Amino acid sequence: MSETPTLPAFFRLVALDAVDSTNEEARRLAAAGAPEGTLVWARSQSAGRGRRGRPWHSPRGNLYLSVLLRPKCAASGAAQIGFVTAVALGDTLRRFLPRDAPVTFKWPNDVLVAGRKASGILLEASGVNADRLDWVVVGVGINVAASPGDVPYAAMSLSESGAGDTSVAEVLAVFAGCFLSVLETWQREGFEPVRSRWLEHAQGLGGPVEVRLDHETLAGRFAALDEGGGLALDLPSGGRRIVTAGDVFFPHL
Ligand code: BTN
Question: If you average pLDDT over residues 159-175, what whole number do you get?
Answer: 92
Nearest atom, ligand 1, residue 22 CA: 12
The pLDDT assigned to 1 comes to 46
Question: Residue 165 contacts by C-beta under 8 Å, 6 or more apart in sequence?
Answer: 159
Task: Kindly tell me the sign of the dihedral angle through the C-alpha atoms of 235, 241, 247, 250.
Answer: positive
DSSP state letter for 27: H
CA of 65 to the centre of ligand 1 (A): 8
Q: Grade residue 40 by pLDDT with cuts at 50, 70 and 90.
A: very high
Cβ–Cβ < 8 Å for 68, 137: yes
How much of the chain exceeds pLDDT 90, in percent?
77
The pLDDT assigned to 253 comes to 53
Q: Where would I find the beta strands (DSSP E) of the chain? A: 12-19, 38-45, 63-69, 103-106, 110-113, 116-129, 132-142, 208-212, 217-225, 231-234, 240-243, 247-249
Assess whether the C-beta atom of 54 lies below 6 angstroms from ligand 1: yes
What pTM was computed for the model?
0.94
Cβ–Cβ < 8 Å for 93, 171: no
The pLDDT assigned to 109 comes to 92
Nearest atom, ligand 1, residue 64 CA: 10
The pLDDT assigned to 252 comes to 60
- Sheet of 116-129, strands arranged across: 12-19, 38-45, 63-69, 132-142, 116-129, 110-113, 103-106
In angstroms, what CA-CA distances link 204 with 45, 127, 224, 251, 252?
A: 32, 33, 10, 10, 9
CA of 125 to the centre of ligand 1 (A): 14
Flag whether pLDDT at 2 surpasses 80: no
Nearest atom, ligand 1, residue 42 CA: 10
Q: How many residues does the chain have?
A: 253
CA of 16 to the centre of ligand 1 (A): 16
What residues does 139 pair with on adjacent strands? 66, 122
Q: What whole-number distance in Å separates Cα of residue 232 and Cα of residue 229?
A: 9
For residues 128-156, one letter each, b for 16 or more C-beta atoms within 10 angstroms of the residue's C-beta and e for the rest, the string is eeeeebebbbbbbbbbbbbbbeeeeeebb
Question: If you average pLDDT over residues 126-142, what whole number do you get?
Answer: 87
The pLDDT assigned to 163 comes to 84
What residues does 112 pair with on adjacent strands? 104, 117
Assess whether the C-beta atom of 21 lies below 6 angstroms from ligand 1: yes
Q: State the chain's mean pLDDT as an integer.
A: 93
Nearest atom, ligand 1, residue 120 CA: 3
In angstroms, what CA-CA distances link 126 with 71, 80, 113, 134, 227?
A: 11, 15, 32, 6, 22
Q: What whole-number distance in Å separates Cα of residue 141 and Cα of residue 139?
A: 7
Cβ–Cβ < 8 Å for 50, 120: yes
Cβ–Cβ < 8 Å for 176, 64: no
Question: If you average pLDDT over residues 7-24, what whole number do you get?
Answer: 98
